[in-house]
Chain A
Amino acid sequence: MTFEVPKVSYTGKIREIPLGREGNTVIVGGESCYPFHLFEGEMPNPPKIAMEVYDSEPEDWPDTALEPFADVIKEPAAWARKCVDTYGAEMIALQLASTDPNDKDISADEAAKITKEVSDAVDVPMIVWGCSNVEKDTDVLKAVCEACEGRNLIIGPVVEGNYRAIGATAIGYKHTVVASTPIDINLAKQLNILLGNLNVPDEKIIIDPSTGALGYGLEYCYSVMERIRMAALIQEDERLQFPIISNLAREVWKTKEVKVPESEAPLLGDIKKRGILIEALTAQCVLLAGADILVMRHPEAISLVKESIKDLMTEK
């Protein structure tokens, strides 16, 4: 019996999407094979990591996650600069958590002002993420689009309930949108079709199929990402041939397991290393499922994942 390498023949390709403003763009996507299956296709643009910045001081983070940012936690712009200058962030993800009506409920104008400040402070591409309240996000993200015209921000989450309003504004001010759907390949495809019908250009769409943390439903997201990639690459489903984003840090860092001290749960080991590894392993799983952009928090988890991406891309 002679051995022959069974290769998959791919017929589709993921679109390449340029992010950020002219002169400082980062390109994501472009894969012509399953994630890191480099023996049978190409990944011209390795996955990118966006570092989280919050619009106001977070209240529920464990100390292990706060510690690297303790000096900038109250100033989003300084926080973003630290991510770029100290930690070499390739992208920034501004989480507008305070806009949540169930939280601080800051106004759309205030959110837009903060976003502008952060955007002025750094050159790297920037993701701006709302609070996932359909009505509030519509107001906030529209104001953000207007305030940062021409910066080619990545705006999300854009959902079925607000894609028209946000999509149209994003087209007007030349931003990219994150099409967000709840762990369902058909809904993901449907929203991309709707965005296309609205004339959002294909090079302005990123897919967010939802993310769960390790131990908290990660498997659903993992499989929906694998299915999206399969449809895009093998079944030539062109409405799914977009890069995938995974907004994973906030899911990871709210779980019980990153917060329990070793004194209360000795078998779970060192709390800091555990939190970093839970974030890094969540990232590792979604990378292998097909994510192109990871939104992450802890600098040590980020450097682990960066190293892992490098190891998977290059022969030693």
Chain B
Amino acid sequence: MGLSGIEIFKKLPKTNCGKCGVPTCLAFAMKLAAGQAELDACPDIPDDVKEEIGEASAPPVRSIVIGTGDRAVKLGGETVLFRHEKRFENPPAFTLLLSDNMDEAEITSRLKKFNDIVYERVGVVLRPELVAIKAESGDASKFGALVEKVCNETDAGLVLMNEDADALSQVAKSCSNRKPLLYAANKDNFESMGNLAKELSCPLAVKGSNLEELSEVSEKLIAMGLKDLVLDSGARSAKKALEDQIIIRRAALLKKFKPFGFPTIVFPCEMADNLIKETMIACQMTAKYGGVIVMSEIEGHSVFPLLLASMNIFTDPQRPMAVEQKIYEIGATNETSPVLITGNFSLTYFIVSGEVDSSRIPSYLLIKDTEGLSVLTAWAAGKFAADTVATFVKKSGIEEKVKHRKLVIPGYLATISGELEEELPDWEILIGPREASHLPAYLKQWSM
């Protein structure tokens, strides 16, 4: 953000050497401005210029990483207030809260559930990401033991919650290689917390009792040289939290207000007395700018809907989600099961497969790669033309799976049926319903 492509170009070496993978410096500058390239790709920029451009072209909400390896979670990096303006970058991290006051068995069972829950949808892995460990017992050794247990039982990223900097320091040192988020620096302890986070190079949460105080502490930490901060405005009601999240994001984007240019941490777990209500608040935070979202419990029925919401809100509006081109078997199919074909726009796939599933008629669903376009758009763009459909059907292997040769095409594509019959002379082409919701009725009267 900030610098235009031309402004960046003026600072580049202008050698057009191509080492960055782009033929010219101007093209590279344009890519940088659009956020499609990394500055490090250019080997010839002097460090001071690199810093200058990096500073100016960094997103107004800084990207922060918590955790390491496969389980590193990236937050922030946001550039817009509304997803339709471009896209939201990094979905929130749903976080399980554990306290050193809980009994051992409870902790073990909650942690196991946290570890077990992983979903895959349209090729995307969805899971709760972080574990927050809170010191409540006042006993440093208990806190230390719990952190050790969690470290042993999960690779997930951690949030270490203890506002006593000395007590936190011992424990944080033992697991700083995991890049935990340290929670939290406040107006009283920010110096020692700030020094600890610097020493361990861990991200640091900043907590204020309101936005004013938050901005003051954040500014002081920035002045101390801290770069990776996560903000807690102290709001613990739905209304106030919504307001604070909106103001923080706006201040960062519209006013370039540095103290608020970071992702946030929010606590639905402290805002409701049951998990169901907590989930409603967490959903609000998912839509409106929550980063680390701390939950008292992780249950399938609560976190699955939240992950769906998060996936929806963080889908890139400019790039349709697509599913893999292949044969999908729905139900206990056999050699007489109906065969249907449609495009690979994820919504098309979900709706069609859902209707086929609810018809209780086991069927083969052929999903053809249409580059994520819906059927009619795909047809108009030549991605669902008879010849390419025929090639896919022949290569898909469906001819080995069924003994009949009847193919159901979407009702909206009735026009290609003649051509398709020519391309697939062994097959009879049947025109299915226009709307997926009519599929169950259609399949029930389908006979081989």
Contacts and interface: CB of A to CB of B under 8 A. Distances in A.
Interface of A: 1, 3-6, 36-39, 60, 102, 212, 214-219, 222-223, 226-227, 230, 254-257, 259, 262, 266-271, 273-274, 276-278, 280-281, 284-285, 288-289, 304-305, 307-308, 311-316
Contacts of B295: none
Interface string B273-284: 000110111011
B276 A226 contact: no
A4 B248 CA distance: 10
B283 A315 contact: no
B358 A304 contact: no
19 contacts: A1-B215, A3-B257, A6-B251, A36-B239, A37-B246, A218-B312, A219-B313, A222-B313, A223-B317, A226-B84, A267-B116, A270-B299, A270-B300, A273-B276, A274-B304, A277-B279, A281-B306, A304-B276, A304-B280
B338 interface: no
Interface string B82-125: 11100000000000000000000000000000001111010000
Interface stretch (B61-69, B193-201, B347-355, B379-387): B347-355
A17 B211 CA distance: 37
Contacts of A60: 358
A223 B300 contact: no
B82 A285 contact: no
Contacts of B83: 219, 222-223, 226
Given A6-B247, A268-B304, A307-B277, A102 B259 contact: no
B16 to A, nearest CB: 40
B219 interface: yes
Given A1-B257, A288-B284, A215 B311 contact: yes
Nearest to A34: B246
Interface residues of B, number: 61
Contact of B212 (A3, A218, A305): A3
Contacts of A304: 276-277, 280
Contacts of A259: 358
Contacts of A217: 312, 347, 350-351
A314 B239 contact: yes
B258 interface: yes
Contacts of B238: 308, 311-312
B313 A285 contact: yes
Interface in B217-251: 219, 237-240, 242-243, 246-247, 250-251
A214 B358 contact: no
Interface in B282-323: 283-284, 287-288, 299-302, 304-306, 308-309, 311-313, 315, 317
Contacts of A5: 211, 247, 251
B257 to A, nearest CB: 7
A274 B259 CA distance: 39
B255 interface: yes
Given A1-B258, A6-B250, A226-B82, A267 B117 contact: yes
Contacts of B116: 267
B438 interface: yes
B237 A278 contact: no
Q: What's the dominant secondary structure at chain B's contact region?
A: helix
Contacts of B301: 268-271, 273-274, 277
B79 to A, nearest CB: 16
Given A219-B315, A222-B312, A269-B301, A3 B211 contact: yes
Nearest to A213: B308
A235 to B, nearest CB: 14
A129 B301 CA distance: 31
Q: Which 10 A-B pairs have the closest CB atoms?
A: A269-B300, A269-B301, A274-B301, A215-B308, A311-B238, A219-B312, A3-B215, A223-B84, A273-B301, A6-B250
Contacts of A214: 305, 308-309, 312
A277 B305 contact: yes
B6 interface: no
B191 interface: no
Nearest to A227: B84
A256 B357 contact: yes
A1 B261 CA distance: 13
B441 interface: yes
Interface string B346-373: 0100110110011000000000000000
Given A214-B305, A281-B279, A284-B280, A316 B287 contact: no
A257 B317 contact: no
B374 to A, nearest CB: 11
Given A219-B317, A288-B287, A254 B82 contact: no
B304 A39 contact: no
B254 interface: yes
Given A226-B82, A255-B354, A281 B237 contact: no
Contact of A3 (B259, B306, B353): B259
A222 B313 CA distance: 8
B302 A273 contact: yes
A278 B309 CA distance: 9
A254 B354 contact: yes
